[in-house]
Amino acid sequence: MSGTDLLDGFDLAALPGASAREAASARLRAGGWPTRRDEAWHYTDLAAGLRGFALGPAPAVEVAAELPEGQRVVFVNGRFDAARSTAPDWVGRLGGAAADTARGGVVVALNTALAEDGVAITLAPGQQGGTLFLVTLAAGRGETMPAIAPRHRIALGAGATLTLIETARGEGSYLHAPVFEVELGEGARLNHYRLQDESGEAVHVATIFAEIAGGAGYESFTLNRGARLSRNETHARLTGPAADVHLNAAQLLNGTQHGDVTTVVRHDAPDCASRQTVKSVLAGAARGVFQGRIEVDRIAQKTDGYQMNQALLLSDEAEIDSKPELEIFADDVKCSHGATIGALDPEQLFYLRSRGVPAAEAKSILIRAFLDEALEPVTDEAARAVFEAAIGAWWREGA
């Protein structure tokens, strides 16, 4: 597909904020989808993943789903579903306002050009938001591949807290390219838990920008198990002293799935901590990617950065590409990173089987144990339940 006809299926002039959309679409048309020649996309060929698919606007559809109890916001094909949402008053919508175009690459430009809706969460200083589910449902049932590009904004005032549990599911072939803009005031805490469980024919490319003020904490865990091609790209910036960020993730992939976890953590203030534990379990001919970059500004003294990337390969054809990068300009910092690749240990398998545990169950126990370290910081019970169910289902569906 050439760069010029990427957005031919869309009538951008009909959407509000046309000028920002035009600017973003011009950028997209000029560059086209990223290929392996783009350094940031060297291991994930988005152009190849979308070749042969004609993108079109996401139609209004109905998608049946079991919904979680409690506070929830439901989006279907990128549109707010008022009837099935139970949103508190601090949850608004990001109408059709076109978003900021300054940061991010081509995928963010696509979102900027197409975003029509999204959730806008605003918590006042000190406000306790409890747990909110963000349920996104999608369906691609026609000739074209719907492009679903919601823009979500989450702003927590000083000392406010929220646990956001996002589940992304769907059916058929579609592109889901959400962008999250997270802003945490001083001492605020956001637990951002994300389950990417999209349709096996879908492409999921999420971008998260998080700005974290002094003393604030951004605690995130993402589980990638759906979509034929996925990328979760997080840009976290620690802007005030003594802030902390956890960017943990796990991938459970099989068949010919491709899953990419990309992180950029920028330390722009002293005494901050960043922690990343990313675990990939790859079966069949699945391919996993981890790219993690830690940037430490010269004023960010006493930075404590940790990054661990581990892959468990369940077959000879599975593959992991791992690219850690450290860019440190301060002189008094502690930064460490590591990567391991391994297979299931036959001694451990035999030990379990010798105790009566059937081979398939023994494997699932060892895989769950492998994931444990990445899941450990997820203490919220509702989130735990979501992830445990997804991990259990992955196994039952035959990895």
Partner 1 sequence: MLEIKGLTATIDGKEILRGIDLTVPEGEIHAIMGPNGAGKSTLSYVLSGREGYEVTGGSVTYNGADLLAMEPEERAAAGVFLAFQYPVELPGVGNANFIRTALNAIRRARGEAELDAVQFLKEARAAVTALKMPDDMLKRNVNVGFSGGEKKRNEVLQMALLKPTLALLDETDSGLDIDALKIVAEGVNALRGPAFSALVITHYQRLLDHIVPDRVHVLAAGKIVRSGGPELALELEANGYAGLEAA
Return residues touching partner 1 (CB under 8 A): 345-348, 350-359, 361-362, 365-366, 368-373
Least CB distance from residue 315 to partner 1, whole Å? 18
Nearer to partner 1, 88 or 338 (CB): 338
**Residue 329 or 351 with smaller CB distance to partner 1:** 351
| Cα–Cα nearest to 230, from 245, 211, 249 | 249
Provide φ and ψ at 126, rounded to 5°.
Answer: 80, -5
Nearer to partner 1, 298 or 355 (CB): 355
Query: What letter represents residue 276's amino acid?
Result: Q
- Nearest-approach distance from CB 373 to partner 1, in angstroms: 7
What does the alpha-carbon distance between residue 350 and residue 366 come to, in Å, rounded to a whole number?
Answer: 11
Amino acid identity for residue 266 in this structure: R
Instruction: Give CA angle at 192 (107, 110), nearest 5°.
Output: 10
Quote the tokens at residue 315: 């077959």
Q: Which CB sits closer to partner 1, 75 or 394? A: 394
* Alpha helix stretches (DSSP H) within the chain: 18-31, 46-50, 106-114, 346-354, 359-375, 381-396
Q: Between vectors from CA 380 to CA 361 and to CA 309, what angle results, nearest 5°?
A: 60
Q: What type of residue sits at position 324?
A: P
Minimal distance, residue 277 CB to partner 1, in Å: 12
Q: How many CA atoms lie within 13 A of 348 on its CB side?
A: 13
Closest among 178, 232, 198, 229 to 48, alpha carbons compared: 229
| Nearer of residues 310 and 322 to partner 1, judged by Cβ | 310
Give which of 326, 351, 353 is closest to 338, Cα–Cα. Answer: 326
Nearer to partner 1, 18 or 369 (CB): 369
CA–CA gap between residue 139 and residue 82 (Å, rounded): 18
The residue among 84 and 368 lying less far from partner 1, judged by its C-beta, is 368
- Closest separation in Å from C-beta 354 to partner 1: 5
Q: Amino acid letter at 50?
A: L
* Shortest Cβ 362–partner 1 spacing (Å): 8
CA within 13 Å, CB half, 62: 3
Q: Cβ(205)–Cβ(107) under 8 Å?
A: yes
Q: Which backbone phi and psi does 168 adopt, to 5 degrees?
A: -115, 120
**From the CB of 348, what's the least distance to partner 1, in Å?**
6
Q: Nearest approach, Cβ of 347 to partner 1 (angstroms)?
A: 5
From residue 391, give the alpha-carbon distance in Å to each of 163, 196, 199.
20, 12, 16
Give the residue with the Cβ less far from partner 1, 50 or 362: 362
Nearest residue (CB) to partner 1, 173 versus 277: 277
CB of 370: closest distance to partner 1 in angstroms?
A: 7
Q: How far is the CB of 283 from partner 1 (least distance, A)?
A: 19
